Amino acid sequence: MRTLRTEAGLSQVEFGERCGFYQTYLSRIENGHANPTLNAIEVIANALGMTVFDSFDQMRPAMGARKK
């Protein structure tokens, strides 16, 4: 999610305001310390101008690289 957010040119604070989430919650998601609900994932995807499916497609390569 961090990559998608930074590519959109948004700080965590700006992104939090766009999503309606606290910056600390977004930070915890980005660092793997919180697991967002499907509803939260939808809000995040919409704030990035994409669907949930688009966001999963774009995050999948990064998630695979992290697990190795």
Question: In the chain, what is the greatest distance between 2 CA atoms, to the nearest angstrom?
Answer: 33
Segment 42-62 shows an average pLDDT of 88
pLDDT value for 56: 87
For residue 37, count CB atoms less than 10 angstroms from its CB and return exposed for 0-12, middle for 13-18, buried for 19 or more: exposed
1 band by pLDDT with thresholds 50, 70 and 90: confident
pLDDT value for 67: 54
For residue 44, count CB atoms less than 10 angstroms from its CB and return exposed for 0-12, middle for 13-18, buried for 19 or more: buried
Q: pLDDT of 6-45, one tens digit each?
A: 999 999 999 999 999 999 999 999 999 999 999 999 999 9
**Topology of domain 2-67, per CATH?**
434 Repressor (Amino-terminal Domain) (1.10.260)
Strand residue runs (E) in 1-68: none
- Whole-model pTM? 0.80
